[in-house]
A and B are shown apart, each in its own frame.
Chain A
Amino acid sequence: MGDQLTSTGLKPADFASSQEVRWCPGCGDYAILKAVRKTMADVGASLENTLVISGIGCAARFPYYMATYGFHTIHGRAPTIASGAMLANPDLDVWIITGDGDALAIGGNHFIHMLRRNFNCQILLFNNEIYGLTKGQYSPTSRENTRSPSTPMGSIDTPLSAAHVALGAGARFVARAVDTQQKQLVDILTKAYQHKGTSFVEIFQNCIVYNDGVFDPFTDKKNVADHQIYIEHEKPMIFGANADQGLMVDAGFHLKPTKLDGDTRALIHDETNRSLAFMLAEQSPPDGPMVMGVLYQNPDEIYQTRVKEQIKTAQSNNKRSINDALRDGTTWSVK
């Protein structure tokens, strides 16, 4: 959204609907739900102006658990309905909830066009690298050789990188977070809310039933320090249990983790540098740390404003009524 933070006095619990939450026990979605409710309370969102829209999938049940307006739509199409709602009411505070299948397979087209248009809203992609609701088939983000009911000998497609797709599509805010790292997640969701334009947040979400532990190499407690980095604008990109590793660009223009000592300093993050953002999204264990935080943020005019401006311009050039319009061009009278 990007509006001033004003308190509505609502607490996280006030954003909970009366519906019983029905995800599998231990599902990462619980943690995300908690973080979103807390973010909404923190930023002073109102119930009536908040609209949560989802497609189909486990993540897509999200709106039912919110006390705001909510629309559980059809597979992959949440961005389309969100776009229309924002065309009708540019001031709605819209959160799109999607998953790796919903956003990157069946809804891939809408996902990229949503990002390039830059409507003012948030897209939260719950990436668990698997199809949960349909019982465990591999997804567009599943790693090669993923064995699943539909790929008994292992998947053979190259996985998509959500952040790369988003950056390539022209997204103006690209961030990453982990479901269970609450403080970090709320922090990033708050930044996403504050950014004016389409804010894309990829959340690594553990599917405890069909893909448990797939993110352990960087989310497991023992791995976080050395295999995950949380970056912030204009701050050096440092990680490691002893804060002694940093991301550096080498002579061949590769971004690489480097051991820091007196002479070697880590690169300072510039979130407005899109090329850097691509390189940050490229990092992954075991060669480098998984990068969390705001990879890229570079605001531009939002779609809603552009639509309004065109109408305003047309009206200042040619103020007329529908009756006038009907009488356009050559007319003649029959007595």
Chain B
Amino acid sequence: MTDMAKSQPASSTTATNDGSMETAIVRIAGDSGDGVQLVGGRFSINSALAGNDLVTFPDFPAEIRAPTGSIYGVSAYQLHFGGRNIKTIGDHVDVLVAFNPAALKTNLALLAKGGILILDSSGFSATNLRKAGYKTSPLEDKSLDGYQLMQLDIGKMTMLATTPFGLTKKQALRCKNFFALGLLFWLFDRDRSKTAVWIKDKFAKNPEIGDANVAAMNAGHSHGETIELAGDLSKIHVPTFKMEPGLYRAITGADAMAYGLATAAELSNRQLVLASYPITPSSNILHKLANMKELGVVTFQAEDEIAAVGAALGASYAGALGVTASSGPGVALKMEMIGLAVATELPLIIINSQRAGPSTGLPTKTEQSDLYQSVFGRNGDAPLPVLAARSPGDSFYCAIEAARLAQKYMTPVILLTDGFINNTSEPWSIPDIGDLARIEVPNRTDPTDYKPYERDEKTLARAWAIPGTPGLEHRIGGLERDALTGAVSYDPANHQKMSELRAQKTANIAFDIGELTVDQGDENGDLVVVGWGSTYGPISRAVTTMRAKGYAVSHVHLRHIFPFPANQCELLSRFKRILVPEMNMGQLITLMKAMDCPAATGLTKLEGQPFLVSELEVAILDAIKEVKNG
């Protein structure tokens, strides 16, 4: 579980005198079986319906079925919501709900001093205290004095509330999560009618369980009112945020990626074939697409990572949009096949949901350390475009962009995302597919003068000639081939020419991806913060805050990692200093040096956790001070 913050933050997003907070961060933690993910998800939807912007993060244990009460079996759900554009899961927590000592122990460091701590005392048995490693009970030893502590026997109150429904004790206690949700709904003054409808719908097959959960939620809400009367705690008002008009839904990065791929296939008028081998944290993309068969999506769980990319390449060869999704260790296994895709010049999308490495590393923890692997990780000179998604919703559009480049340039494309993006969710304005640009790359059908490696003058792409087409029969493979006929060729001059063509084809993409623009701030100034991937949220928030304080800092965020947009180095040269925060040891900064971008300063973090906004604010301030001190 989390050890996100090593030390407690100095101050909380404290409620103002009138009991309102611009944004609030709530974290619910308990045993894997306590249902915290379920109620966390409902709280998120409820917040969205209440008009807040939000970002959510489920923090699962790595163990599948850990013993109850154990430290490593704690599951948590964090929600950051409020009356402004929410970009991160939040540096610290304002309200923590803990169902047992292990949940308290592993999450307390995240709670801001003076924050609200809701503890279910029914979970604090002597056994559970011992399992969590407490020598004395934190409920009694005054160690929690610095917080607004609300300890209540949620177990007992849930049992009482659900008595009328004739449940077993075990069934009744499983409603504890909805009691806690009811209490949170009271705390943030929420309407719970839609949640009640949802609960009854979910438990339609067992109506007494549905009724009991609704009763538990209502009891939690009533208990809040009692607390309020006693003057122990007041409701917190969080203002609404005016989002762009549109139809919204909550979406995770993995789901957005799956939808993006299906949409890209539709826009390309091609069959989508996703071939994958299960790996954390990528499997959700496979699961989502496996459940989209009604859209004609074909998914294939291969026998290993190599078979997965091979099947994806074979599918593209035969005219489909072939995709494989994996994580760093899996992509390492795929590299020889990706080289074959470079050599045979076939479209292919490889999605890498990055996780902490090297080797098995920290499978459930996030990192962005596969940039070198993506850009440089093949034998031979084997260039290919590399993209990176910055947020859950952006994954949808990056999937479409990857499909566009793969087909237009007949090339494999690596699309980077990470465990954090895949699992977090945010409100997403649902596009109409009819509004999106189509991807028009027709198969060649004309047999006249067909030469397999003849190229389009502009894109340098060869034609897509698929098996089954009369008159275009030809042979391809991994051996170097004649630059025109495609016949095997060991000619030295031909290999030089083909190597240059492959490099030029990829380099040309720099002029087909739009100019790099400033995401936030002026186009020149003291400092520009350059990021890529999931650091978008924390960097964006930190830059907003620092600009509000009057600092001349801007934010540039890369989607195209290779090649860089044509104007990148020029744009960055307009700033006195460049700061590059990365969740790796400085991989983008190395690439920038290699591409002759102006010198930059790196900021690295490899803790398996996203940057805190406060960490970036400090770094920005330090960099600007250095500018001022010359």
A74→B336 contact, CB < 8 A? yes
B485 to chain A, nearest CB (A): 10
| The stretch of A202-210, A241-249, A292-300, A309-317 that contacts the partner chain | A309-317
| Residues of chain A from 55 to 80 with CB closer than 8 A to chain B in the complex | 63-64, 66-74, 77, 79-80
Main secondary structure on chain A at its contact with chain B?
Answer: mixed
- From B471, which residue of chain A is reached at the shortest CB distance? A48
A102 to chain B, nearest CB (A): 13
Q: Of B244, B262, B311, B469, which one neighbours A81 at CB under 8 angstroms?
A: B311
Residues of A close to B275: CB separation below 8 A: 84, 87
A81→B249 contact, CB < 8 A? no
Main secondary structure on chain B at its contact with chain A?
Answer: mixed
Q: What is the bound-complex CA distance between A49 and B467, given in angstroms? A: 6
B473→A69 contact, CB < 8 A? yes
Q: What is the bound-complex CA distance between A320 and B293, given in angstroms? A: 11
Which of B306, B312, B336 gathers the greatest number of chain A CB atoms within 10 Å? B306
Q: Of A77, A87, A317, which one neighbours B298 at CB under 8 angstroms?
A: A87
| The stretch of B17-25, B160-168, B217-225, B429-437 that contacts the partner chain | B429-437
Residues of B close to A221: CB separation below 8 A: none
A322→B315 contact, CB < 8 A? no
A231 to chain B, nearest CB (A): 32
Residues of A close to B49: CB separation below 8 A: 330, 332
Residues of B close to A314: CB separation below 8 A: 293-294
Q: Of A17, A47, A89, A320, which one neighbours B318 at CB under 8 angstroms?
A: A89
- From B340, which residue of chain A is reached at the shortest CB distance? A74
Interface string of B309-344 (1 = CB under 8 A from A): 111111111111010000000000000110010001
B231 interface contact, C-beta 8 A: no
B314→A81 contact, CB < 8 A? yes
A71→B266 contact, CB < 8 A? no
B588 to chain A, nearest CB (A): 31
B433→A48 contact, CB < 8 A? no
- From B308, which residue of chain A is reached at the shortest CB distance? A80
A32 to chain B, nearest CB (A): 18
A87→B320 contact, CB < 8 A? yes
B454 interface contact, C-beta 8 A: no
Residues of B close to A89: CB separation below 8 A: 318-320, 466-468
B247 interface contact, C-beta 8 A: yes
A319→B294 contact, CB < 8 A? yes
Q: What is the bound-complex CA distance between A70 and B336, given in angstroms? A: 19
- From A60, which residue of chain B is reached at the shortest CB distance? B477
Q: What is the bound-complex CA distance between A87 and B320, given in angstroms? A: 9
A5 interface contact, C-beta 8 A: no
When A48-B467, A49-B467 are in contact, do A109 and B304 touch as well, CB less than 8 Å? Answer: yes
**Which bracket fits the contact residues of B?**
35 or more
B300 interface contact, C-beta 8 A: yes
Q: Of A49, A64, A67, A307, which one neighbours B468 at CB under 8 angstroms?
A: A49
B48→A332 contact, CB < 8 A? yes
A4 interface contact, C-beta 8 A: no
B315→A85 contact, CB < 8 A? yes
B475→A83 contact, CB < 8 A? no
A88 interface contact, C-beta 8 A: yes
Q: What is the bound-complex CA distance between A318 and B478, given in angstroms? A: 42
Q: Of B245, B306, B431, which one neighbours A80 at CB under 8 angstroms?
A: B306
B431→A72 contact, CB < 8 A? no
- From A92, which residue of chain B is reached at the shortest CB distance? B467
B290 to chain A, nearest CB (A): 10
Q: What is the bound-complex CA distance between A47 and B430, given in angstroms? A: 46
B475→A88 contact, CB < 8 A? no
A64→B307 contact, CB < 8 A? no
B248→A82 contact, CB < 8 A? no
B430→A330 contact, CB < 8 A? no
Residues of B close to A325: CB separation below 8 A: 259, 262, 292, 294-295
B294→A334 contact, CB < 8 A? no
A275 interface contact, C-beta 8 A: no
- From B49, which residue of chain A is reached at the shortest CB distance? A332
The 4 closest A-B pairs by CB, nearest first: A84-B314, A80-B310, A72-B477, A84-B311
5 additional contacts (CB under 8 A) given A84-B300, A88-B314, A313-B293:
A48-B469, A72-B478, A83-B300, A83-B310, A334-B246
The 6 sampled A-B contact pairs (Cβ below 8 Å) are A81-B311, A84-B320, A88-B318, A92-B467, A311-B296, A322-B433
Q: Which residues of A line the B interface, CB within 8 A?
A: 17, 19, 47-49, 51, 53, 63-64, 66-74, 77, 79-89, 91-92, 109-110, 112-113, 307, 310-311, 313-315, 317-323, 325-335
